[in-house]
Structure 1
Amino acid sequence: MNYSISDEAMARLPFWVTAPGETDGFLIIVGLVLVAVLLSFGALYFTVQAIPDRMAAGSHKVQMQLVGVLGLISLFTLNNAFWIAAILIAAVPLHEIFPLKTELDISETNDA
């Protein structure tokens, strides 16, 4: 059985129905929008993921490395606890939590 659609029937079809043998423009538009949305969400995800690294920039080398490693672990494991730990470590300087080295430096200068 060979079914064919007359020109009158094609004129009454809605705009999203494509004639046989023609390119489906709606599918192309939806595909392009989907790719754009996925790329924008990916860019947003990586921007948010880099917040701890930006916060730790300019601090001590050990603190920057620790924040970077925690950020990388959270990126690959999709575990938010590592990312939150990286934010907390980046927010508070390590020398304020562990002031032992500065106390040793002060005692050495007083002895000399």
Structure 2
Amino acid sequence: MEIKPKTNCPLNNFEPCKELECAWFMKIVGKDPQSNKEIEDWGCAVSWLPILTIENSQQQRQTGAAVESFRNEMVKANENSQNVLLQAGSQGLKLIKIKQNDQ
């Protein structure tokens, strides 16, 4: 069963939606973040907010995972650098400081 909400506008005292005469009436094209079905539909920007919020949350989770992965790689690289420096020091190798020219 498909439930169709009434098209009463909360921005216009719950009068019937003016659709294309309203600046808030827009077309959305993409994928539904819950069902992964293709969307190409017109509707009120206010009514699109729940779907867009879900999509935003999914993108934030993906970004968080990418940042965590990058952090883990940086930790490994830093540990390797520390090990190289410790081994160089234990073998009596001198580390040189590279001086940069100020321009």
**Fold in common (TM above 0.5):** no
Query: Structure 1 length normalisation: TM-score?
Result: 0.38
Q: Which has the larger radius of gyration?
A: 1
Task: Please identify which structure carries the higher strand content.
Answer: 2
Query: Structure 2 length normalisation: TM-score?
Result: 0.41
Higher relative contact order (CA 8 A, sep 6+): 1
